[in-house]
Structure 1
Amino acid sequence: MPADPHPAPEELHPALWRASQLARCAARCIDTGFPALSNQLPGGGWPTGTLVDVLPQQAGLGEMRLLAPALVKVASRSVVLLQPPHCPQILALGGMGLAASQVLWIKSKKGTDALWAAEQVLRSGSCGALLFWPSHVRPEALRRLNLAAQAGETLFFMLRPIAAAQDASPGTAASAAGAQRDGRGIRQAPRSTT
């Protein structure tokens, strides 16, 4: 029988995939703590060493509760909160299982300083997770941060407005978080690649 003249990209090489699909997760993945969500993500959880877009409908409306189970799993190393929209509530973080001594809060005056700090955290590989709420980020900065993330095993979440779902992103997963009756909600957002 003759070979298929148009083989699927993944048959040619495991790193190839169609832009309409989520990339396969070759990285180590951390369970999300929510089986329905973990089953939808490549690799069965949040991938380490890559940018993961989380696009909340409104900043401060459930994203920490969504990410907390995974953050607790990597909290043997520091969890960095970079440019969060609100002052971190240590008691609430403690209720999620994160001790104050495990959390680093970085607030910079300039966006360029925040991008530099994110890159340094990722390249160092010394932190278990980085949650970054940028005010605005250009596509080339996203690519640069994704490359820095690949240097280590850090969970790297970019928490951007839901409107960013329309923007190209090198991120492995794009998700939208929103409040529902139980305080959580998640759906896969449409994804563009760079």
Structure 2
Amino acid sequence: MNALPKDIESLHPSLWRGTQLARAHGRTVDTGYAALSAELPGGGWPLGTMTELLLQQPGIGEMRLLGPAMAAVSDKRSIALIAPQQVPNAHGYAFMGIDPGKLMWLKAVKSSDALWSAEQILRAGSCGALVLWQQHIRAESLRRLLLAAQSSEMLFVVMRPLARAQDSSPASLRLAVRAVAEGVAVELIKRKGPAAPAPIMVKLSPSPNLISEHRRVQRRTVELPAPAVEHAAITE
């Protein structure tokens, strides 16, 4: 019986050891934050699949976290935002390097409408990125979206509450995002590779376009260990 080669990935790109990060089974786009990219298979956000961001609360910096990648994929194609929980701020997106004219904002009264719209956009493959906000999604609906995403090379991100972290999901990458003093702490809940030893601290600089003198939101923060902090002047 022949022994397996030391580099098992040489047999097929889908094979990987549980003690090492898998290679991405497709293209990726750099996150813009070196410490985060280093912990993701392929070194960035995966394209042609589903990524879940599980948020402690909306508006803690999740769009700034995606900002560099969205700016990269919006160079030639639009970005679709479906049922965002906050009104998109054109000045904030421009500050991130995204042409507001490339944004496509879809309102959906019903969850079924949002899911249908997301599936059609994924199957059309005409956008560079799609971000979908949903509170509750049934497992079969997630699988439909994943299949649709696999037919494209789109950056597809589903935003859900952190409470949904215990739910099963077919997403290839699941990250919990919590607010900390100067940015966000990103915990890797699911990836093709070993468990991450600690949350990744990402520092986010606020945009002057998003600071209102009339309304300031108090952020709830959590105490977490502080490994190396990655700096990036990217904002929503």
Gaps of 5+ in 2: 192-236
Sequence identity percentage? 49
Return structure 1 stretches of 4+ with deviation > 4 angstroms: 2-5, 9-14, 16-24
Distance 1:21 1:55, change over 3 A: farther
Whole-angstrom CA distance in 2 between matches of 1:162 and 1:189: 11
Matched AA of 1:140: E
Question: Aligned residue for 2:161?
Answer: 161
Give the match's secondary structure for 1:178: strand
The answer as to whether partners of 1:22 and 1:172 remain within 8 angstroms in 2 is no
Alignment partners' CA distance in 2, 1:51 and 1:19: 21
Give the Cα–Cα distance (whole angstroms) in 1 for the partners of residues 33 and 147 of structure 2: 28
**One-letter identity of the residue aligned with 1:176:** A
Match of 2:88 in 1: 88
Distance 1:145 1:154 in 2: 12
Q: What is the Cα-based RMSD across aligned positions, in Å?
A: 2.5
In the alignment, what sits opposite 1:152?
152
Q: Which moved more, 1:91-100 or 1:50-59?
A: 91-100
Q: Which whole-Å CA distance do the structure 2 matches of 1:21 and 1:142 have between them?
A: 27
Question: 1:114 maps to what in 2?
Answer: 114
Correspondence for 2:173: 173
**Relative to 1, partners in 2 of residues 1:111 and 1:23: Cα closer, same or farther, differing over 3 Å?**
farther
What aligned pairs does 1:58-73 form with structure 2 within 5 A after superposition? 58-73=57-72
C-alpha separation in 2, matches of 1:104 and 1:36: 30
Task: Quote the offset at 1:156 in angstroms.
Answer: 0.2
Sort the Cα spacing of 1:165 and 1:22 in 2 relative to 1 into closer, same or farther, 3 A. Answer: farther
Unaligned runs of 5+ in 1: none
2:135·2:161 contact (CA, 8 Å) conserved in 1?
Answer: no
Aligned length: 190
- TM score, norm. by length of structure 2: 0.73
Please tell me whether the aligned partners of residues 22 and 173 of structure 1 are also in contact (alpha carbons under 8 angstroms): no
Q: Would the alpha carbon gap of residues 91 and 146 (structure 1) be closer, same or farther in structure 2, given more than 3 Å must change?
A: same
Max radius of gyration: which structure?
2
AA partner of residue 124 (structure 1): A
Q: Which moved more, 1:157-166 or 1:27-36?
A: 157-166
Tell me the distance in 1 between the aligned counterparts of 2:119 and 2:18.
26
SS in 1 for 2:52: strand
Q: Which residue of 1 aligns with 2:55?
A: 56
Aligned partners of 1:160 and 1:22: how far apart in 2? 25
Q: Of Structure 1 and Structure 2, which has the larger fraction of its residues in strand?
A: 2
Partner amino acid, structure 2, of 1:143: R
Give the Å deviation of 1:136. 1.4
Cα 1:18–1:174 shift into 2, 3 Å? farther
Q: Distance in 2 between matches of 1:21 and 1:166?
A: 24
Q: Deviations over 1:105-147 (max 9, x none)?
A: 1111111110000001100110000000013110011010000
Aligned-partner residue type, residue 108 of structure 1: A
Which structure has more helix as a fraction of its residues?
1
TM-aligned CA deviation for residue 178 of structure 1: 1.7
